[in-house]
Amino acid sequence: MGPYWILVAVAVAAIFTLPVAVFVLAPHPVSSQERPAARLVVSVAADNETYIPGQAVHVSVQLMNAGDGSAYLWFGSTCLASFSILAVDGSVVYDYRAHVACGPMFTNLTLGPGDARVFRFTWTQTSDSGIPVPAFRSYRIQGVVLSSKPSPGPSGETTIFVMSGAAGPNLAFTARTDKATYVQGESANVSVMLTNIGLETIVMHFGSPCFVQFLVVDETQHAVYNSSKWWACIQVVTDEILTPGESRSWLFSWGLTTDAGQPLAVGQQYEVVPSFIWGNATDYQRYVSRTNVATFTVSAFTI
């Protein structure tokens, strides 16, 4: 036997004589892997699926812990939840946060497994500028919890439909300006026309002779001027009767200023939107099925 076979024999012997370590992977107990965890779910509901124009929409935003562990939420303001109204294309029609004052305040909320918290709101079918939204279309209601931890807070949504309204009174508002372009410092003459475009005579009752207004909105649809804020009307009961096809017109002189008395910014396009004064004629605003706005621009010099 040569030296080669001697070496092989020594190696084989070493394998059986040296200690061998055997590793066995033992799984951890199941209970140590499946720890209780919270699962926050937001559901949004309205009190109806369909609404007539102008009808109040009551919104509920429910926050629920659907997990098997406790949930801890932290907040940095007095507003714990909010909602927005979105058009079908996703654009924001109404944001509740733009109409409330949320003061700074640190607070927390604890929800055990299965616990829920409900936040309630009301939407009057107006846009952020206070203009009634168009009828015969769907709107998405998006609710959100305004927590700083977790951030962003959980959210949910639902959809409603605003009908065109029952057959009956049918009104149209039209706004016009005497120019398409104004020089900063000029005054504008704004006319507002209300027309009965329905087949029935409509009789309207108001608490004062001032029941028509116009709003001016900028390119972001933010209302910069409200004509009714500058009126002082006596409280005299007034009836307005419009037969089918009949119109009423009002002419206003306006100095092209904002509600704060500042001149309008130059280089922007503005819209003049006619409507009833909301506090006095909300019942009649729902009869308005057509609103024609006027557009104009403000220039720093004469064109």
Return residue ranges of the chain for CATH 2.60.40.2360.
40-162, 171-299
Question: If pLDDT is split at 50, 70 and 90, which confidence band does 233 have?
Answer: confident
**8 Å CB contact between 138 and 160:** yes
In order of 122, 166, 291, the CA distances from 137 in angstroms are: 19, 15, 16
**8 Å CB contact between 171 and 165:** no
Tokens representing 277 are: 């004064």
> What's the pLDDT at 91?
94
Rg (CA), the chain: 33
Q: Considering the domain 171-299, what is its CATH architecture?
A: Sandwich (2.60)
Q: What is the pLDDT of residues 188-211, one digit of tens each?
A: 999 999 999 877 889 998 888 889
Mean residue pLDDT across the chain: 86
Consecutive H or E run containing 281:
helix 278-285
**8 Å CB contact between 119 and 81:** yes
Lowest mean pLDDT among 24-38, 109-123, 251-265, 287-301: 24-38
Q: What is the pLDDT of residues 24-73, one digit of tens each?
A: 444 445 444 678 999 999 999 999 998 888 889 999 999 999 999 999 99
Tokens representing 10 are: 């020594």
pTM: 0.50
Name the more confident of 39 and 3: 39
Q: Considering the domain 40-162, what is its CATH architecture?
A: Sandwich (2.60)
Q: What is the pLDDT of residues 151-200, one digit of tens each?
A: 999 999 999 999 875 556 889 999 999 999 999 889 999 999 999 987 78
In order of 22, 28, 185, the CA distances from 25 in angstroms are: 10, 9, 85
